[in-house]
Amino acid sequence: MLLKRSKEEVVLLMLCGLSIPSILPFGIVRLFQGNLLMATVDLLIVLGMLCIMVFVWRTRRVRLAGIAVTVFYSMGMLAAVYVKGVPIVYWVYPTMIAAFFILRAKEALMINSVSLLCLIAILHDAMLLLDLSSLVVTLVLINLFAYIFSDRTSLQHFELNQQAEKDFLTGAGNRRAFDKQLQTICAKDGMQKDVCILILDLDHFKRINDQFGHMVGDQVLRQFCSLLRSRIRTVDSFFRYGGEEFVVIAMGIDDIAAARFAEELRSLVERAQLLRDHPVTVSIGVAKKLTGEDSEAWFQRADAKLYEAKLSGRNAVRVAREESA
Q: Which of 244, 270, 293, 323 is the catalytic position?
A: 244
**If residue 89 lies in a helix (H) or strand (E), which one and from where to where?**
none
Q: Rounded to an integer, what distance in angstroms lies between the CA atom of residue 105 and that of residue 87?
A: 29
Measured CA distances, 178 to 99, 160, 240, 265 (Å): 33, 17, 8, 20
Annotated catalytic residue 296? no
Which residues, in sequence order, are CB contacts of 198 under 8 Å at separation 6+? 247, 248, 249, 250, 258, 261, 262, 265, 284, 285, 286, 302
Closest CA to 146 of 98, 79, 183: 98
Q: Rounded to an integer, what distance in angstroms lies between the CA atom of residue 72 and that of residue 64?
A: 12
Backbone dihedral region for residue 68 (phi beyond 0: left; psi -120 to 50: alpha; all else: beta): alpha
Q: What is the DSSP string of 232-281?
A: S-TTSEEEEEETTEEEEEEET--HHHHHHHHHHHHHHHHHH-SBTTB---
Closest CA to 126 of 186, 179, 82: 82
Q: Rounded to an integer, what distance in angstroms lies between the CA atom of residue 39 and that of residue 14?
A: 23
Buried b (16+ CB within 10 A) or exposed e, 63-102: eebbbbbbbbbbbbbbbbbbeeeeeebebbeebbbbbbeb
Which residues, in sequence order, are CB contacts of 272 under 8 Å at separation 6+? 223, 227, 280
Residues known to be catalytic: 244
